[in-house]
């Protein structure tokens, strides 16, 4: 399990941190993941659940909350145990911690909301391999105090929840004419069935990303000297500016 990912993975064998630690303020830790570095919409992490279970708002909410719980739980545990986990097996240790919380979330959902649990199916278990969660452990929780790790997990989790509900709302509104099961458009609306089917997930996220690209380009054009968010871990592609 050496899937460390980043190009400087060789440094990890010497026990050095993979990514440089950058000093940030608590507010920045909390707010970064919510919008400016939103895990789904900007960093494109955790796409599997974001596309697979967002066909209704209820499913998106359940998935977002379950992921939020797993992220928060594992960030707290990884951050508290960071001195005990040897660098060589840290990825394996993180995955075991994440898998434990996913098993808890799976059982809790099965007991509280059996219908939603059935609708989400295998995708609850697949939270384990959501790269967003492992990414936050590796990049943040494993080298920061517990308090900061909680702030970061809350911010990233809320960002994920926002993206999920956004996707779910678009798909349910257009595909079923309702929001959270409540009809919105009335009788005359002909639902776009394609939006609640698999291709609708790809199209929704595709058009959201195109919209974001257009918005960024407009902002850059208006204020050419605008600096990106301080210490951004996201590289913005140059070609985006129209």
For 69, other C-beta atoms within 10 Å of its C-beta total 19
Of the candidate residues 6, 214, 219, 228, the single one contacting another protein (CB under 8 A):
214
Residue 125 or 165: the one with the smaller Cβ distance to another protein is 125
**For residues 15 and 139, is the Cβ–Cβ distance under 8 A?**
no
The per-type count for the chain, helices as H runs and strands as E runs, is: 9, 2
Listed ranges 57-65, 103-111, 112-120, 182-190: which one lies at the site for another protein (CB under 8 A) = 103-111
- Compute, in degrees rounded to 10, the torsion defined by CA atoms 48, 54, 55, 56: 160
By CB under 8 A, the residues from 2 to 41 that bind another protein are 2-3
DSSP letter at 237 equals P
Residue 213 as a binder of another protein (CB under 8 A): the answer is yes
Residue 154 or 195: the one with the smaller Cβ distance to another protein is 195
State both tokens at 43.
């960093």
Residue 151 or 205: the one with the smaller Cβ distance to another protein is 205
Listed ranges 59-67, 78-86, 205-213, 224-232: which one lies at the site for another protein (CB under 8 A) = 205-213
By CB under 8 A, the residues from 133 to 192 that bind another protein are none
**For residues 67 and 46, is the Cβ–Cβ distance under 8 A?**
yes
Of the candidate residues 18, 78, 93, 95, the single one contacting another protein (CB under 8 A):
95
Encoded one letter per residue, x for contact with another protein by CB under 8 A and - for no contact, window 55-94 reads -------------------------------------x--
**End-to-end Cα, the chain, rounded Å:** 41
What is the spatial distance between Cα 230 and Cα 189, in angstroms, rounded to a whole number?
A: 45
User: Nearest distance from residue 82's CB to another protein, in Å?
Assistant: 21
**For residues 96 and 158, is the Cβ–Cβ distance under 8 A?**
no
User: Nearest distance from residue 47's CB to another protein, in Å?
Assistant: 5
Helices (H), 34-84: 47-52, 57-80
What is the spatial distance between Cα 124 and Cα 84, in angstroms, rounded to a whole number?
A: 29
Residue 234 as a binder of another protein (CB under 8 A): the answer is no
Residues that bind another protein (CB under 8 A): 1-3, 44, 47-48, 51-52, 92, 95-96, 99-100, 102-103, 106-107, 121-122, 125-126, 128-131, 194, 197-203, 205-207, 209-210, 213-214, 217, 237, 239-242
């Amino acid at each position: 399990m050496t899937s460390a990912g980043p190009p400087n993975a060789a440094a990890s064998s010497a026990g050095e941190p993979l990514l440089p630690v950058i000093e940030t303020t608590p507010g920045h830790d909390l707010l970064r993941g919510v919008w400016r570095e939103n895990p789904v919409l900007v960093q494109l992490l955790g796409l599997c659940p974001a596309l697979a279970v967002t066909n209704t708002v209820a499913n998106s909410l359940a998935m977002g909350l379950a992921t939020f719980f797993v992220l928060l739980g594992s960030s707290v545990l990884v951050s508290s145990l960071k001195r005990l986990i040897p660098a060589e097996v840290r990825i394996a240790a993180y995955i075991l911690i994440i898998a434990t919380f996913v098993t808890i979330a799976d059982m809790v959902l099965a007991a509280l909301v059996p219908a939603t649990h059935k609708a989400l199916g295998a995708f609850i278990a697949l939270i384990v391999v959501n790269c967003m969660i492992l990414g936050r452990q590796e990049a943040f929780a494993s080298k920061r105090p517990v308090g900061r790790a909680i702030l970061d997990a809350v911010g990233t989790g809320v960002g994920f929840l926002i993206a999920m509900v956004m996707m779910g709302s678009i798909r349910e509104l257009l595909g079923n004419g309702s929001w959270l099961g409540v009809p919105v458009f009335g009788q005359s609306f002909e639902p776009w069935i394609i939006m609640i089917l698999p291709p609708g997930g790809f199209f929704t996220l595709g058009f959201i990303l195109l919209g974001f690209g257009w918005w960024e380009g407009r902002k850059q054009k208006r204020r050419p000297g605008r600096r990106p968010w301080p210490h951004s871990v996201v590289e913005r592609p140059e070609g985006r500016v129209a």
